[in-house]
Structure 1
């Protein structure tokens, strides 16, 4: 999640979309509901982040990433976990050679999602 925390609200949106994806892929309500307190806190905080009145910073985005990672470990099958790991490695390698901001800005869909709720 920290890789994306370069624009207001982006890390929070990555967490929400990641949690939604986990919920759909590894439907395990008893485990994913453990994430609801973090999600509720994030949803309360997100308007301040998106309006640039507060900044999550590395501490906040790392907590979201760790929580999402723990949720993935406890809900995904070993094969799905391996696939996710490979995707994340690919994302990190991509981020070493190109700007994720440029990728987001050059994609109509990602750019629209990135700007949802953000006050510019």
Structure 2
């Protein structure tokens, strides 16, 4: 199994994307934002936030074949995601991602727990 990239590896990926980017900086910023969120929430949560087409667009900008190689499947903050909590432990994940089940996708997260 390939070792997960550390923060320096991810920063290097971002720097490479910035160096080669040609286009709208809003797209670059959104792609980098997706990657940074995925580091802490995991790729499954990201797929519940963004459409598959948007994820493909951002991966192309970042020069990545997929998120699975660079971020965890389920990150340490995944439980804060309302969408993740709705589908966690069910077989509905890919149906939601493909749009076969509606009303689950949301970018809303709960505040950090105090204590």
Fold equivalence (TM over 0.5): no
More helix by share: 1
Give the structure, 1 or 2, with the largest relative contact order (CA under 8 Å, sep 6 or more). 1
